[in-house]
Copies of this chain bind each other. A is one copy, B any other.
C-alpha cells in the first residue's frame, strides 16, 4: 500500500512550515525535547513567534535569546526541574534587552488547552484556579456555570498552534510516529496544530510500526513532515537511545547568567553548526559515550494473525 512519503530534511521542514509571527508549540516534557528543530528555527532567523511550551527551559532560553520569540505561553519556567532561566528573567524583570510577553497557565491548564485545540472544542473545564491569582492576571482563564447545578468551574480556551514540533524515537516514511517512555502532551499538542513536524531518531520500515499499532502516538494523518534527526533531543534524552546530558544542564547555568555568554554559545553551537550531525560531531564521541544507555527491552506482545480457513 503506497503512502505519501513525508520524509524531508530539517531545513526544508522548518522553511516550509514555520514562518514569522506564527504560533509554534515545541513540546516534550523533560523527554524528547525537540532541540534540533529549535536550533534550526534560530538558524533560519524566524521572528515574532508566539512560542508555546509547558516547560520553557534551555530550549526556550536559546530561542528567546536569539530573538525568535515575542510571546511565551507556558506553565513552568525553569531549566530542568528548578534552575532559573536567566534570559527569561532578564526580559521579564528588566526588559533587558527587550520585554517578553508571557501568558501563563498551570500544567493541566496547558494540557487542557491542547486537548481542546485537538478536539475542536472552544474550551475545557478543570478543577484548578479557585482562589488563585492566576485568573486575575490571565483573562483567558474564565468560569462557566455548571448546568447540572454544581458550583461554577474554571475553563481554559483551546490552543491551536500553527505548527507543533515534536521529537520521537521512530516513525515510518508515511508519518506514523511512535514514542515510548514519557509521552507528555505531545499527542494533544500535535493534534491541536494545523501542521506537525516530527523529528525522529530513526525512520523505520512501516512493518516495524505496524507490528505494534498501539505504540503509535501520532498516526500519519496528523503529521506533515518527518525528519530523521539522530540525537535531535540532546541535551534532553530519548528513552532507550541516549540519556539526559546532565552535565550540559549544569554547564548552562553560568552561561545563562550573562547574555553575552548566551550569544557566544548560540554563535558557536547553533549559527556555526549547519545541522545536528555536525552538532553531534562537535560534541564529540566521548561526550556522547557519557549519555549512552545499556539495553533493557520490552517483552513483545502477540497481535495475532487470523488463520486462513482451508
Interface residues of A (CB under 8 A from B): 120-127, 142-148, 150, 153, 155, 157, 169, 178, 180-181, 183, 208, 211-212, 214-215, 239-241, 243, 292-307
A148 & B157 in contact (Cβ 8 Å cutoff): yes
B122 & A122 in contact (Cβ 8 Å cutoff): no
Main secondary structure of the interface of A (DSSP, over half): loop
Residue among A126, A178, A297 with max Cβ neighbours from chain B (10 Å): A297
Cα distance A99–B303 in the bound complex, in angstroms:
42
A297 & B301 in contact (Cβ 8 Å cutoff): yes
Q: Which of B144, B146, B169, B212 contacts A298, CB < 8 Å? A: B212
Known: A125-B123, A125-B124. A239 touches B303 (CB 8 A): yes
A146 & B122 in contact (Cβ 8 Å cutoff): yes
Cα distance A38–B211 in the bound complex, in angstroms:
32
B residues in contact with A241, CB < 8 Å:
302, 304
A148 & B123 in contact (Cβ 8 Å cutoff): yes
Number of copies of chain A assembled together:
2
B residues in contact with A123, CB < 8 Å:
125, 146-148
B307 & A296 in contact (Cβ 8 Å cutoff): no
A298 & B301 in contact (Cβ 8 Å cutoff): yes
Q: Which of B146, B214, B296 contacts A305, CB < 8 Å? A: B296
- A140, chain B: closest CB distance, angstroms: 8
A–B complex contacts, Cβ < 8 Å, 11 sampled: A121-B126, A122-B148, A122-B150, A122-B153, A124-B125, A208-B299, A211-B297, A211-B299, A293-B305, A294-B307, A298-B303
Residue among A120, A143, A240 with max Cβ neighbours from chain B (10 Å): A240
B residues in contact with A144, CB < 8 Å:
144-145, 147
Q: Which residue of B lies closest to A292 (CB)?
A: B307
B residues in contact with A146, CB < 8 Å:
122-123
Q: Which of B157, B208, B240, B301 contacts A215, CB < 8 Å? A: B301
Known: A124-B125, A298-B212. A181 touches B303 (CB 8 A): yes
Cα distance A142–B304 in the bound complex, in angstroms:
43
A120 & B127 in contact (Cβ 8 Å cutoff): yes
B residues in contact with A124, CB < 8 Å:
124-125
B180 & A303 in contact (Cβ 8 Å cutoff): yes
